[in-house]
Amino acid sequence: MPLLPTISTFFIIVSAVLVAIGWVLIVKGKASAHKKVMLAAAISALIFFIIYVSRTVFIGNTSFGGPDEVKTYFTIFLVFHIILATTGAVFGIVTLILALKRNIKKHQKIGPVTSIIWFFTAITGVMVYIFLYVMYDPGQTTSMIKAIFGF
């Protein structure tokens, strides 16, 4: 298994698990513990992002190496994941800013939505990893546009 994608996928899983723990903590009324865990979740997501962007810039992205009859479905799924991840990141930043500015009413409204988006982002991210590195032999490492669209 490739080192950097494995490490970055690990951090996104850790982030999602920490978000789940944070959710449980706030439901139990443990606001201080919730804040610490959610900041740790954000740091974990940031570590993922730094590894991902660094790899993309300096090494490239891995294209789908599986059979051609699966490639179209994978590409659609990957585009869905990218949209979900981008939406989740924006929601995450807004949710964190609201919390840090102590705008708790808005934070309480957007937080659960952000968490659900993040859970789906993590799940689909792990699935992309499985498709690229576990189920099939990895394709070529190439620029992001070539990896996604094949040209």
pTM (2 d.p.) = 0.88
72-100: average pLDDT: 96
Residue-wise pLDDT for 129-138, tens only, equals 999 999 999 9
pLDDT number for residue 59: 83
The answer to whether the beta carbons of residues 85 and 125 sit under 8 Å apart is yes
